[in-house]
Amino acid sequence: MDARLNYRTSPTAGKVLKHFMAIGKTFKEWPVPASTQELLALRVSQINGCAVCVDMHTKDAAAAGESATRLNLVAVWREATVFTEAERAVLALAEQGTRVADAAEGVSDEVWANAAKYYDEEQLTALVIMVSFMNAVNRLNVISRQPAGDYEPGQFH
């Protein structure tokens, strides 16, 4: 599959995407565990059908030591026993924050309260920004049909 747009050669994309890349790099400094961040990014990307992001976040998580079992079960996390309650709260928040059109209220009070049991306000802020950021990046890649499969772990870090 060929991409509809080449972001690497576009002056317009270059001006904007350098800021996206800079935001993505700051995630390492945020007060949420890296493994939780990768699970969030992977789940949002799965929901949005962003193959290039699924490829990236699966490989980055595996390179950071995440198990194949957990990565394979992210799509069915509700039925899986391998996630902590805190991780499950993040996955629920990520799903509702991504599927805002599917729920009249967006993120429910119940999902928010559950996440707030495990994460403080600064961490919740980081999680909300990450969900929003991943949704934006997913849309850039899905609309332009960016191909997946050749990502190398850490390529954009």
Reported as a single tens digit per residue, the pLDDT across 5-46 is 888 888 898 889 889 888 888 888 889 999 999 999 999 999
pLDDT at residue 91 in the model: 98
- Asked if residue 157 is part of any domain, the answer here is no
- Asked if residue 128 is part of any domain, the answer here is yes
- Asked if residue 5 is part of any domain, the answer here is no
- Asked if residue 8 is part of any domain, the answer here is no
- Asked if residue 131 is part of any domain, the answer here is yes
Q: How confident is the model at residue 50 (pLDDT cuts 50, 70, 90)?
A: very high
Contacts 24+ apart (CB under 8 A), 112-121: 114/89, 115/89, 115/90, 117/89, 118/85, 118/86, 118/89, 118/90, 119/32, 119/86, 119/89, 119/90, 120/31
Number of structural domains found in the chain: 1
CATH classification at residue 78: 1.20.1290.10
- Asked if residue 36 is part of any domain, the answer here is yes
- Asked if residue 7 is part of any domain, the answer here is no
pTM given for the model: 0.92
